[in-house]
């Protein structure tokens, strides 16, 4: 249902990079740095790269989650009564950020 953008801005040591530091360098197979993670080429530690990557993934999750919430805002208008399924769906969207791993988010199913 949801996939992360493969290109995004990473600010590190005053420079801006436009790829996930955990992804592999896109180089020809015969290049000495072929298939190395970008963070090693950028001089980052694995912990720094993981933190940057997770932060960006959470940002993208929040953007998408907020979009889904805004699409259902009309359910909560004063002259309407939300069903329990609708309330549960919206609460599940809000609770997504309680997850610990951005790669393991379970997106709720929108009720009819």
- What does pTM read for this prediction? 0.76
Which pLDDT score, from 0 to 100, does residue 6 have? 56
Domain that holds residue 86: 10-104
Establish if 111 belongs to a structural domain.
no
Establish if 94 belongs to a structural domain.
yes
- What's the number of domains the chain is made of? 1
Establish if 2 belongs to a structural domain.
no
Residue 110 CA to residue 14 CA, distance in Å, equals 41
- Residues 111, 89 contacting (CB under 8 angstroms): yes
The residues near 49 (Cβ < 8 Å, ≥ 6 apart) are 21, 22, 37, 38, 39, 42
Establish if 3 belongs to a structural domain.
no
Higher-pLDDT residue of 33, 38: 38
Establish if 112 belongs to a structural domain.
no
Band of residue 46 on the pLDDT scale cut at 50, 70, 90: very high
Establish if 1 belongs to a structural domain.
no
């Amino acid at each position: 249902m949801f996939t992360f953008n493969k290109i995004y801005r990473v600010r590190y040591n005053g420079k801006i990079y436009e790829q996930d530091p955990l992804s592999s360098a896109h180089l020809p197979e015969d290049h000495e740095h072929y298939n190395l993670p970008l963070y090693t080429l950028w001089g980052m530690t694995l912990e720094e790269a993981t933190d940057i990557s997770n932060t960006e993934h959470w940002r993208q999750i929040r953007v998408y989650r907020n979009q889904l919430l805004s699409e259902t805002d009309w359910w909560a208008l004063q002259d309407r009564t939300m069903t329990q399924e609708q309330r549960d769906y919206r609460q599940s969207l809000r609770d997504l950020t309680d997850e610990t791993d951005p790669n393991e988010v379970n997106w709720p199913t929108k009720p009819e």
